[in-house]
Amino acid sequence: MIFGLDPVIIALRIPILLIVITVHEFAHARMAYHFGDSTAHSQGRMNLNPINHLDPIGSLMILLVGFGWAKPVPINPYNFSQYRSGLRWVSFAGPLSNLVLAFACLLVFTYLVNAGLIVFGGLPFEFFQQLIIINIYLALFNLVPIPPLDGSKILMSFLPDSYLGIYQQLERYGPILLLMFIFLGVFRIIIFPLANFILQFYSIIISFLPGL
């Protein structure tokens, strides 16, 4: 699965970006609503309109390097029926939705390839490859425990209250750290091997399904 600055690949990533970002943010908003917080719903973010969820820099990162972030869904964790559990599951909902979508897309992709409806090297082939791997990359990237990524909030949901001050201090420098690590290639070293492992794991599961 090729990543780079190939104009064809970047063009394919535009509709993919709209899909993965929308699913990710909708999952956050829907889970927050489930736990009793209607902030995202009242601000028009609990929907599948991609324009409401795009972040300029995060979207550019997805187009260029395959992982990035969206405009965070507004939540008020103090509205949750269960504060820590709500924060944990609302934060995890986004990455989880991308992992589930990646598996579903791989399942459809495998069926279409085996049926001869998609040929190697064609645009549909490349589209599905990019769609699958970007979903996995986005999920893994957002699980990194650096603010404002989802992983930081998942981690915070497990920490005792005495550590919240440290988190708030780190939150101010989070975006700078993220951009620095992206351009230094730190995340590539971590995310790419994990993504390949998940992809192989998915492929093994699918290989046991009848008809595939």
From first to last of its 212 residues, the chain has per-residue pLDDT tens of 444 567 888 888 889 989 999 999 999 999 999 999 999 999 989 999 888 888 888 788 777 776 777 888 899 989 999 999 999 999 999 999 999 999 999 999 999 999 999 988 889 999 999 999 999 999 999 999 988 899 999 998 998 877 777 777 777 888 888 878 878 888 889 999 999 999 999 999 999 998 77
Half-sphere exposure of 8 (CA within 13 A, CB side): 8
| pTM score of the predicted model | 0.89
CA dist 50 and 91 (Å) reads 19
The confidence score (pLDDT) of residue 168 equals: 73
Active site residue 171: no
> Cβ(103)–Cβ(110) under 8 Å?
no
> Cβ(94)–Cβ(24) under 8 Å?
yes
Q: What is the DSSP string of 68-128?
A: ---PPPP--GGGSSSHHHHHHHHHHHHHHHHHHHHHHHHHHHHHHHHTTSS-TTSHHHHHH
Select which of 9, 12, 25, 144 is catalytic.
25
pLDDT digits (tens, 9 = 90+) for 53-73: 888 887 887 777 767 778 888
SS3 196: helix
Q: How far is CA 138 from CA 8, 57, 80, 159, 187, in A?
A: 20, 14, 26, 24, 11
> Cβ(19)–Cβ(27) under 8 Å?
no
pLDDT digits (tens, 9 = 90+) for 145-163: 988 899 999 998 998 877 7
**Preceding omega of 210 cis (within 30 degrees of 0):** no
Domain locations in the chain as residue ranges = 7-207
